[in-house]
Structure 1
Amino acid sequence: MPSLEQYKIPRDKHTISRKDIDDNALKVLYRLHNAGYRALLVGGGVRDLLLGLKPKDFDITTNATPEEIKALFRNCRLIGRRFRLAHILFGRDVIEVATFRGHHDQKSAQDIQKVKQSQGGMLLRDNVYGSLEEDAERRDFTVNAIYYDIADFSLYDCCNGMQDLKERRLTLIGDPDVRYREDPVRMLRAIRFTAKLDLKISPECAEPIRRLSNLLQDIPAARLFDEVIKLLLSGQGLTTYRLLKEYKLLQVLFPILFKEGEDDTATAMIEQALIDTDKRIAQGKRVTPAYIYAVLLWYPVEQRAHAISCESGMEYHDAFLLAMNEVLSIQVKSIAIPKRFTATIRDIWMLQLRLPRFGGKRAQRVYQHIKFRAAFDFLALRAQIENATELKDLVVWWQEYQQNNPLPVHQYGRQHINKANEKKPDTTKTAPKKRKYRNKKRSSNTDVLDA
């Protein structure tokens, strides 16, 4: 193996400055360095700084073992079974520290205990430690295998990541088939980095994705929920969605979405929702995963509700309830959507049935619903895509209603009560103070006689 010095890029040959690195990350780097360990930034933090972007987090790697890291930091907790990691906690800020990973020897009894693979080749446990060079070769993409050394502020580029960044190319380290089988989520990461960083997937990196997409079925559904949030709510949701379709990954994540074949109206609605979401993220506004999931699964619910109603003669409202439960129960097997989001999804869907019925006091009750605004946006999106006159008229009616009622009744009532309490003088009567009596010492008969 070539000397590590061959991969070294001195400080005057790169653009990363300490002033751009998070203060808490610098604290961790310096404490490890001062304790005699190697301490380097690696991964997305280094990559984004080189691209002139602002990193969301900073990951650190070191030759210290997790136990040695924990001994250095009181605010440290060790997590993970598959990969043993140290999380250094600074309030809500978390700095992740990993020990250099090494190549495992299948013939070594010690390594066999530390490494476990499934029959398909997916790594279930891998806690073999090694050198910086070995750690670089164990990382996924070349652009994520660039290291910033706090000792002399130099970079180490063992896998030609700097050249790939310059050419805007995403390249996998090692044999793509083997690396995707080790961790199928790398296929989703390839899509995310391509969209987020405006890169192009190299041919050798792209070719196996369609063949191996079904390996994602072996990934825990809870982990896939986190990955899909990163994919669709990163500000490049539309580009990501189209790439997922192109590489046959969308069908694995959402098996019920186009079960009966791709629907042009459903596709148009999903893409418009992602365009709107990307705009909100660019403006710094809040977004919720529940809304995107509600859009993605809306047409499967509608199709299933119509099928149940026709097959059983059941009223559409009841068929719709059954369809909601059925679609969500199928979806959570692939992506474990938490209950707090499925509850919101149900509210948005159910309000689509209630919004057309606004006679009497019904409009007021719907308007008071805590998810009214999300449901109204959903209705407006449907009207825009479906181009139905009745939906457009309904949107206009509710727009006028909101103009005449600036705040929902429950919100107005709460604000009114708070303001009234601020202006209202304090008229509560204070209880009269109890008079304190001294216990006077009574004179005894002897004292009187003596006097």
Structure 2
Amino acid sequence: MISDNALKVLYRLKKSGYQAYLVGGCVRDLLLGREPKDFDVVTSAHPEQIRAIFRNCRLIGRRFRLAHVHFGEEIIEVATFRGLAGEDSHEGRVIENGRILRDNVYGTIEEDAFRRDFTVNALYYNINDFSVVDYVGGMEDHKAGMLRLIGDPDQRYREDPVRMLRALRFSVKLGFTIHPSCAEPIKRFSSLLQEIPPARLYEEVLKLFLSGYAVQTFEQLRHYGLFGVLFPETERCLAKEQQGFPLTFLAKALERTDQRVQDGKPVAPYFLFAALLWEPVRTGAQARIEAGESDILAYQEAAGEVVAGQVRHTALPRTVSLPAREVWTLQPRFERIVGSRPFRLLSHPRFRAAYDFLLLRAEAGEAEPSLAEWWTRFQQADEAERQTMTRPGRRRSGRSRSRKRKSRTAPPANVSV
């Protein structure tokens, strides 16, 4: 189950006189019988020495200097053993207010082990004798299904607050329990995430929600108070309607995301963020509509305001923010089913994503099921039937019945922790 290219890197480093091990998540997953998505190598060779060995190598990173060895689409990441240093300022290391800003201090494999975050991520596969090397009790925690930080949890979270997100992600993904000493400080230190660059948090959000465990991850993030740091406007909206539709809509969107990941289908990051930020957009648009604005303009302005606020917390590349805004601003246009407007909407390049979004809203009880049914039939109909469906005076079938049914039905069950 080990990548042939990872083995090539290991044996070439060994042949060149350096120590080389597989390390981290790939070893952890192999011990669980899972096929790793990628393979990380750690070595006694320094970055420049690694580059001299591999012509297909690129050095990246300032905070952590790494080597990427390219084999077509596969990249084997190679890092030099990290060393220990007790001073806040050391050649190669910069620490400010407890946070590690730069760390290129090199050392031994044992020092490297104590520098890693969780014990189960500090296991090394040794090609010399095909053993697993463990300096920190990682094998014992692995067998017990326990996620435990190496060292003092308070200090480790201060060094890198993203470790709190990693703790939740790994615990959900692996089905491991977070050790109480590591779980307790998370709520106290949640605000430290505000110090992390939004671009890095954007990447972490993708890892959190696109790994096939989005629903459980969402519940854990809210339980530990981290979701509100990443998405404060969404959290404020959900807090006001704990028993209402907003939480149901987001949970259903995340369920759909998990299903697609498990089926091996792609998930567009813009659709994920459109779901995560929908409630503040909808709430802001509704307030504008009640103040007299047209619905389309209201959604456009609300979308712009929400995106402008969110980028202070997680970065939103234009490839994400622009299509997400289109998905939001197309929602009121689904209400216009007379004349030529449905035909124009059907030809919009973002129609399919916006239609899928409408289906989720209908499933959550937020949009009329009859409206979603109308648009499903409209797509399947031939030209003559479409002309009939869009004539003035036509009403969507089941519209009045759905409203009566909705008034007698209890709101969907809350899925929060």
TM-score norm. by structure 1 comes to: 0.82
Q: For 2:293, give the aligned amino acid.
A: M
Structure 1 residues 133-174: Cα deviation after superposition (integer angstroms, max 9, x where no partner): 110000000000000011221110111111111111100000
- Residue aligning to 2:192: 215
The match for 1:268 is 248
What's the offset of the Cα at 1:266?
A: 1.1
Q: What displacement does 1:306 show?
A: 2.6
Cα distance, 1:318 vs structure 2: 2.1
Equivalent-residue separation in structure 2 for 1:256 and 1:73 (angstroms): 47
The one of 90, 94, 103 aligned to 1:116: 94
Alignment correspondent of 2:330: 351
In the alignment, is residue 285 of structure 1 matched against residue 265 of structure 2? yes
**Is 1:23 matched up with 2:1?**
no
Question: Whole-Å Cα distance in 2 between the matches of residues 64 and 362 of structure 1?
Answer: 64
Give the equivalent residue in structure 2 for 1:53.
34
2:61 aligned to which of 80, 85, 96: 80
- Aligned twin of 2:412: none
Moved over 6 A (4+): none
Helix, strand or coil for the counterpart of 2:264? coil
Distance (Å, rounded) in 2 between the aligned partners of 1:175 and 1:71 = 38
Counterpart of 1:419 in structure 2 is none
1:261-295 CA-to-partner distances (Å, cap 9, x unmatched) read 34231111111111111111111112112112111
Show the counterpart of 1:334.
313
Give the counterpart of 2:295 among 309, 316, 324: 316
Task: Give a deviation string over 1:328-371, Cα, whole Å, max 9, x none.
Answer: 11011111111111111111111111111122222121111122
Alignment correspondent of 2:226? 249
Matched with 1:93 is 74
SS at match of 1:123: strand
AA partner of residue 272 (structure 1): K
Q: Distance in 2 between matches of 1:157 and 1:234?
A: 27
Question: Bigger CA drift: 302-311 or 143-152?
Answer: 302-311
Structure 2: stretches of 5+ with no match in the other structure? 387-417
Q: Distance in 1 between matches of 2:282 and 2:16?
A: 62
**What percentage of residue pairs aligned between the two structures are identical?**
52
Aligned-partner Cα distance in 1 for 2:124–2:11:
15
Q: How many residues align?
A: 381
Letter in 2 for 1:404: A
Unmatched tracts of structure 1, length 5 or more: 1-19, 410-451
Aligned AA for 1:342? Answer: S
**2:93–2:104 contact (8 Å) kept in structure 1:** yes
Which secondary structure state, in structure 1, belongs to the residue aligned with residue 21 of structure 2?
Answer: strand
The answer for the alignment partner of 2:402 in structure 1 is none
Counterpart-to-counterpart distance in 2, 1:168 and 1:118: 34
Q: Which residue of 1 aligns with 2:403?
A: none
Corresponding residue number in structure 2 for 1:136? 113
Distance in 2 separating the partners of 1:328 and 1:318: 16
Residue 304 of structure 1 is matched in structure 2 by 284
- TM-superposed deviation, 1:309: 4.1
Residue type at the aligned position of 1:279:
Q
Q: What is the RMSD of the two structures over their aligned residues, measured on CA atoms?
A: 1.6
1:186-205 pair list within 5 angstroms: 186-205=163-182
Alpha-carbon distance between aligned partners in 1 of 2:110 and 2:382, rounded to the nearest angstrom: 65
The CA distance in 2 between the partners of 1:220 and 1:58, in whole Å, is 26
The CA deviation at 1:392 is: 1.1
* Residues 245 and 366 in structure 2, CA contact (< 8 A), matched pair in contact too: no
Taking structure 2 as the reference length, the TM-score comes to 0.88
Aligned to 1:33: 14
* CA distance in structure 1 between the partners assigned to 2:382 and 2:8 by the alignment: 52
2:90 is paired with a residue whose SS is helix
Q: Which amino acid aligns with 1:315?
A: S
